[in-house]
Amino acid sequence: MPKPLSPENAALAFLTPIRQTRQNPSGLSGIAAQTISTPTGKIALWQRGAGPTVLLVHGWSGSHTDLDAFVEPLVAAGRRVVGMDLPAHGCSDGEAASIPDLADGIFHVVRAIGPVTGVVAHSVGCAATGVALQNGMELARTVLIAPPSRYADFARAFARQAGVDPEALLTALRRRDIDMDSIDYPAIAPSLKSSALVIHSTDDQVVPFVNGQEIARAWPGARFIAREGLGHRRILADPDVVSASVSFLTN
């Protein structure tokens, strides 16, 4: 049997995404990557279109290609679309990252390309967007697709899968100066000023449906759309999800 991970090694594994290398999605094909420099390394960007800017933010172990389906409709609606690879993902620098690290990356991108009027975010990208908003990033509208509620819950789930005591993993993460308990979307949502649309599928096996419901209830004025049969990733290509998101961002 493989030797169990130590809490420190489990913490590193928890913070290390699987890097996707596919580049130039259909919506941004033929467009060369650009980079911006941040205190923690370079972040890769792709952009297309003209008009108010919408930023696409992928989830954990993903890349900018995950949100391909949103590019053409947003460009057609008169938006400049920017896709990014989060820190430690895709073509961006880094090997490991926490949600605060991802949030810092988003914050620096928005500052470099802004003003940004809206974001479409998926999964952990939603959590990072929330932290960036909490830290002062300004957005008129935010679309959250399959958002997780609490970082610590996912760390505990990862620990159980890895055969590590969950509290020992949280302690190891805190030793890395990651305040797991502070990344609590329902707790921070009431203070956020951006208008929000939350979309979640009832059969999501990665981020339970109740997470999206809880965040939408806590976010003042948020709209919530429940979908069925789209899981955690198929939801990103669903025409009705794309249409509702584009309408929310542009009307």
In this predicted model, what pLDDT tens digit does every residue of 158-178 receive, in sequence order?
A: 999 899 999 999 999 999 999
Among 159, 140, 222, 146, CA closest to 188:
222
Alpha-carbon distance of 167 to 51, in angstroms, equals: 47
Number of neighbours of residue 220 by Cβ within 10 angstroms: 11
Q: Is the pLDDT of residue 94 over 60?
A: yes
For residue 228, the number of C-alpha atoms closer than 13 Å in the C-beta half-sphere is 0
Instruction: Give the pLDDT band of residue 1 (cuts 50, 70, 90).
Output: very low
Q: Is the pLDDT of residue 2 over 60?
A: no
Stated as kind and residue range, the H or E segment containing 41 is: strand 41-48
Report the percent of the chain where pLDDT is more than 70. Answer: 94
Alpha-carbon distance of 149 to 21, in angstroms, equals: 28
Alpha-carbon distance of 52 to 37, in angstroms, equals: 23
Q: What is the pLDDT of residue 24?
A: 54
The residues with which 47 forms a beta bridge, in sequence order, are 82
Q: Token pair of 180, please? A: 């797991």
pLDDT, average across residues 124-143:
96
Pairing of strands 223-227, 116-122: unpaired
Q: What is the pLDDT of residue 25?
A: 59
Report the percent of the chain where pLDDT is more than 90. Answer: 86
Q: Is the pLDDT of residue 27 over 80?
A: no
pLDDT tens digits, 104-127: 999 999 999 989 999 999 999 999
The residues with which 118 forms a beta bridge, in sequence order, are 54, 141
More confident position, 117 or 28: 117
Alpha-carbon distance of 118 to 195, in angstroms, equals: 9
Q: What is the pLDDT of residue 31?
A: 72
Q: pTM to 2 decimals?
A: 0.94
Kindly give the interhelix angle for 7-14 and 166-175, rounded to the nearest 10 degrees: 70
pLDDT tens digits, 235-245: 999 999 999 99
Question: SS3 for 128?
Answer: helix
CA-based angle 120:238:234, to the nearest 5?
90
Q: What is the pLDDT of residue 22?
A: 58
pLDDT tens digits, 172-219: 999 999 988 889 999 999 999 999 999 999 999 999 999 999 999 999
Stated as kind and residue range, the H or E segment containing 210 is: helix 209-218
